[in-house]
Structures are given as structure tokens and as C-alpha cells.
Amino acid sequence: MVTSILPLDVKNAVVRRRGKTLLGPVTTTVSDSGLSIVMGPNGAGKTTLLRLLHGMERVSRGGSLRWQIPEEEARARQAFVFQAPIMMRRTALDNVAYPLMTHGVSKKEARQRAGAWLERVGLTDSAQKQATVLSGGERQKLALARALIRKPEILFLDEPCANLDGRATREFETLLMQAFKDGTRVVMSTHDIGQARRLAEDVWFIHHGLILEQTPAAEFFASPKTSEARAFINGDIVE
């Protein structure tokens, strides 16, 4: 049996840059299932937290990130969707096939599997278009397919709908919920409180680089524990 990479144990993790603390200390456990939404004011540290968990930030001395398997292997079993994903100058199909091809799958099989994913996300008609010419919503769906094609156990998303209109956001949310129902652990940041209400099982509220609350969503919205979270939910300016 393959061991799950989760839960992830984070202890006293601090991210510093040029002497400034951007995040932390963070101590938490990322459980093996669920859909967590990371919220907080601008500059609170949402992106830095997601990057930290995904292994893109160096943890300062004294802190640690422990997956259930060695980090190198865990890295290959997770994926990240950025706010503005970089599309390669290739067709939409080959953008999705690429992660398989770099992991030893033949071009033919990779393209076949990518075709099936394009169908799932409703982009079959765009398969042979250059990915760079697709609309924002199409690109984000492509990025999701590219992230999911290797069946990651955990998917991080950093404000993936920030630049999308209502319709594209709805389509993206539907696809994301499907991935979640299929068993992918999801951790996603958003500015959009409505989106958090629609999607979150639990909310991680960040302020000044610290996780102030990690609470089931219903509880977070009904009775936030901190005055900062209360102000944030009310739409007040949080300093």
C-alpha cells in the first residue's frame, strides 16, 4: 500500500527575507482531507504560506515541515495553481500533457490522457490552440487540468479566480469541487468572502504573517474568535 504524504506537520516555521519576517512562526497540521480556504487582508502572508507548504520557501532555522514520506517524494505528489499561471508556448493539449511527459510517460499516452482532461474541463475545442491565446478563464481551467493530471494528493491554489468573471469563476469552482470530491486535499487562498462561504470546509485566517484562526467555516463566519477576523468579515479595514 502506498503511504499517504499527509498529514503535514508544520512546527515553528518562519519565512524571512532580507531580515524581515514575512510569515510565522506557523505551527499547524494539514490533515489528509478537506477543503481549506486561506483568507486575510492584503499582504497578510497568504501567498507566502501556500508557497511555504508547497516547499517553495526556505524555512528558517528551528522550524520544520514534515510530510509522512521524504520531502523529495512528497513534492512530486502535490501541485500548485497560481493566480496567473504560466502557459508554455505549446498547444493547450501539450501544456496538460507536459507534466506526464517529464515523468516518463510516452508522448502518445500523455496526449491521450491530456485529451481526456481537456474534455473534463470543457476545453476539447481548444486542444490545438496555443495556450497563450486562451482567455483568462480557459487558462485557469487548463492550469487546473495540468495540476490534476498526475493525481496530486494535495492541491494548493493561490487566488485562482482573482482575475475571472462570474461565469468563469463558477466553472472553475465546479471543477475544483469535483477534484475535492474525488479525494484531492485542497488548500486555497481567496480575497472573495463569497467564494470562501461557498467552498470552505474550514477557514485559515491570516494576519501579519500569523494564522489567527483555523476554524470550521460555519463557525468562522458565525462567530469569529478574533476581532481582526470579525472586522474582515464585516468588510472593515483591518490594520
Which one of 29, 31, 43, 86 is in contact with ligand ATP (CB under 6 A)? 43
The yes or no reply on residue 44 touching ligand ATP (CB under 6 A) is yes
The yes or no reply on residue 42 touching ligand ATP (CB under 6 A) is yes
Helices then strands, counting H and E runs in the chain, come out as: 9, 9
Cα separation values, 142 from 30, 87, 125, 145, Å: 26, 9, 12, 5
Retrieve residue 11's grid coordinates. 512546527
Closest to ligand ATP by CB, 191 vs 197, is 191
Q: What's the rounded Cα separation, in Å, for the pair 161 and 190?
A: 8
Q: Are 89 and 130 in contact (CB under 8 A)?
A: yes
CB of 167 to ligand ATP, least distance (A): 24
Residue whose C-alpha is closest to residue 34's, from 149, 147, 153: 153
Q: What's the rounded Cα separation, in Å, for the pair 21 and 167?
A: 38
The yes or no reply on residue 58 touching ligand ATP (CB under 6 A) is no
CB atoms within 10 A of CB 119: 12
Closest to ligand ATP by CB, 99 vs 160, is 160
Which one of 48, 140, 169, 184 is in contact with ligand ATP (CB under 6 A)? 48
CB of 6 to ligand ATP, least distance (A): 23
Maximum CA pair distance of the chain? 55
The yes or no reply on residue 22 touching ligand ATP (CB under 6 A) is yes
Binding piece for ligand ATP, criterion CB under 6 A, among 41-49, 52-60, 99-107, 136-144: 41-49
The yes or no reply on residue 17 touching ligand ATP (CB under 6 A) is yes
Binding site for ligand ATP (CB under 6 A): 17, 22, 40, 42-48
